[in-house]
Amino acid sequence: MTCTEPMSAAEVNRLSMLALAHVGDAVYELLIRSRLASKGPSQVGELHRKTVAFVRAEAQAKAARRILPLLTEEEAAVYRRGRNCHVHGIPAHANSGEYHSATGLEALFGWLYLQGLTERIEALAAAITKEETLNGSEC
């Protein structure tokens, strides 16, 4: 999953939470897109609709609640720092709490990805998408 050499924990921890969330946003969306596409042929419009349903702030906040009990202390600390960072704007379709939770989730996925912890990313993604269905299609 990683295209770059993993960074050390110290290097990753020097990055801002918003930088981690920036990376994590892409990682999370790619995970969802890959899982949806692997379920078989589907129209592009339908894949897009399903992807958006999983990656919008409300769904990411729900995903964060689902994995919080599974996080290590260090992962939980990264999530909290990401959730509590000052964001520069909240989209109209999300409330503040959801958006902050989504930012925390994205920061966590960015933090894991940049360290090359892809097995952990996959484990958390599996926990998030377990039992999730969207109009009969599992993610």
Residues recognised as catalytic: 25
Contact 121, 112 (CB under 8 A): yes
Distance CA(132)–CA(139), nearest Å, equals 6
For residue 102, which of 13, 37, 1, 22 has the smallest C-alpha distance?
22
Residue labelled with tokens 């960015």: 110
